[in-house]
Structure 1
Amino acid sequence: MNWIFLIIIFLATLGGGIIPMVVRRIHPNLPLYLLGFTGACLFGITILHLLPEVFHELGHSAGIYIVIGFFFQVALAQLSHGTEHGHTHVPQNDHHHVAVAPLLLGLSIHAFMEGIPLGFHFNDSASMSSLVIGVAAHKLPEALTLMTVMLHSHQKGMKLWRILLIFSLVTPLAAVLAAEAGSHSAQMEHVLTYVVALVIGAFLHISTTIFYESGTKHHELSYRKVLAISAGLLLAFLTLIFE
């Protein structure tokens, strides 16, 4: 277990959540382009590094678990309201309120799933460092969106900071638990391979949803968003130098 990697994930989440807490006027296009960049990076790293790993370990059956993971994320989004891929759904007036508990539950389950591959032993040495880049990039806008929703739901003071701190710890904690489980049992290490396949499905759902749904009223792709997506894919391809 590389603790530096976990610290990077923690700080990326914390930093993303702090932005709406200290910057009261965020340019409306910033989350859009940030999501495009990070979603493309996560998509590229999933395709380039994670998919080959699970197909090498599980063969054709990996596809079954990837599809299950994809649709599990579809179901999970009903709790989180799509916060993990940029949907805010903030209340428009005082008569509408955000259902905080289900949102936090859904997003925490998703964050826990994100951490499991970080505790997995990959055959390709480049996979782990590349995965850290992809997850850290995704955590920043994810936490930014979460805390924006929390602010609009009138969460204040220390409660707001506790929510952010606990949420920032979920993914590193999942990585530690997965690493500990895998190190004590070869059978558990094999089980983790199936879980990683499920997480890959979730990553594919999140990243592709970011491409086509997040941020714009008519879901169009502006040239600026295309540039952001292209930059994210370029970063993913650059991780191949780690091999």
Structure 2
Amino acid sequence: MLLVYNISLLIITVIGGSIPLWTSSWSDKRMKNLLAFSGAYLLSITMLHLIPESVENVGFAAGGYMLLGYFLQQILQKFTHGVEHGHHHSTGHQHHLPIVSLFFGMALHAFAEGIPLGTTYHEDSTVPSLYLAIALHKLPEAMLLVSLLIHSHRSKNASLLWLCLFALLTPVSSMLTHYAGIQLISFATALPYIIAVVTGSFLQIGTTIFFESGSNAHDMSWRRWIVILAGIGMALLSVIGQGHDHVHAH
């Protein structure tokens, strides 16, 4: 099933990310709604699944690792320029961004996203919920990355190549994590702590998207609230009927 999830994630990222290559009709309003929905869902899944799982595995110290991950993500934004939460979608200065360092930052971010996908959890619903959250997050993320490549005068073929490389990173990270967790005892021991750090980065991304979903006056329209509540509601569905039979993580 892990392979199916990763192939699906790869396909979704490539297809969604290639939209700017074929059409320019995707409006800023649609992008903001997509970001609001994906951000609300990612934030909710992080709180409903990853935080409880991290506390279960790491204990009281999980909060410190999450705090570390939160601020590491802040530092990573020096390279990504906030693309992972839609910061530069509507600016007119995309061509001034250093594409190589931006892609490096996005690559690190994408690789980190795959780490929580490559392990097992106490609740069976965590893995599919997390894959869906990452897929929804990667849709606008990949579209923004390709938009920046286009504005930097990369050809369609070159942009598509960069997109495919970007799309591969999270599934590859997931598979490496899975097999390393099985084969290497030291990595399996460290994995819950690494996941707690990544959980903190998800909190930073989700909260940033959420708070940037409003206008410059820090308010949101009722339509945007509907989109956000839909994302939260869909995440809540993932915890309905959760069992309590624990299957220990790697």
Per-residue deviation, residues 173-210 of structure 1 (Å, max 9, x unmatched): 10011111101123311211111101110100001000
**In the alignment, which residue of structure 2 is the partner of 1:64?**
64
Change (3 A) 1:219 1:102: farther
CA distance in 2, matches of 1:162, 1:177: 22
Contact 1:126–1:242 under 8 Å retained in 2: no
Instruction: Please give the secondary structure, in 2, of the residue aligned with 1:220.
Output: coil
Count of equivalent residues:
242
- 1:10-39 residue CA offsets vs partner (Å, 9 max, x unmatched): 122112211111111212201100000000
In the alignment, does 2:77 pair up with 1:42? no
Q: CA RMSD in A?
A: 1.8
Counterpart residue number, 2:178: 179
TM-score with structure 1 setting the length: 0.94
Matched, 1:13 2:9: no
Q: 1:126 to 1:198 in 2, by over 3 A?
A: same
In structure 2, C-alpha distance between the alignment counterparts of 1:218 and 1:102, rounded to whole Å: 32
Letter in 1 for 2:180: A
Q: Which residue of 2 aligns with 1:28?
A: 28
My pick for the range that moved more, 81-90 or 169-178, is: 81-90
1:220 paired to 2:195: no
Structure 1 position 214, deviation (Å):
4.7
Structure 2's unaligned 5+ residue stretches are: 243-250
TM-superposition CA deviations, 1:199-232 (whole Å, max 9, x none): 1101000010001125744443222211111010
Amino acid in the other structure paired with 2:40: A
The equivalent of 2:248 in structure 1 is none
| Kept after mapping to 1: 8 A contact 2:182/2:188 | yes
Deviation string 1:20-62 (CA, Å, 9 cap, x unpaired) is: 1111121220110000000000011111111111101110101
Asked if the contact 2:17–2:139 (Cα under 8 Å) also holds between the matched residues in 1, the reply is: yes
Equivalent position of 1:54 in the other structure: 54
> Is the contact made by 1:84 and 1:142 (CA closer than 8 Å) also made in structure 2?
yes
Q: Which structure 1 segments of 5+ residues have no match?
A: none
- Tell whether 2:168 aligns with 1:169: yes
Letter in 2 for 1:21: L
> Which residue in the other structure is 1:100 paired with?
99
The answer to whether the Cα contact below 8 Å between 2:150 and 2:156 also exists between their aligned partners in 1 is: no
- Describe the superposition over 1:100-131 as per-residue Cα deviations: whole angstroms up to 9, x where unpaired: 01110111100000000111121221111111
Query: What's the CA shift for 1:157?
Result: 2.8
Q: Distance in 2 between matches of 1:29 and 1:2?
A: 34
- The Cα shift of 1:89 comes to 6.2
* Residue of structure 2 in register with 1:188 after alignment: 187
Paired position in structure 2 for 1:160: 159
Partner of 1:149: 148
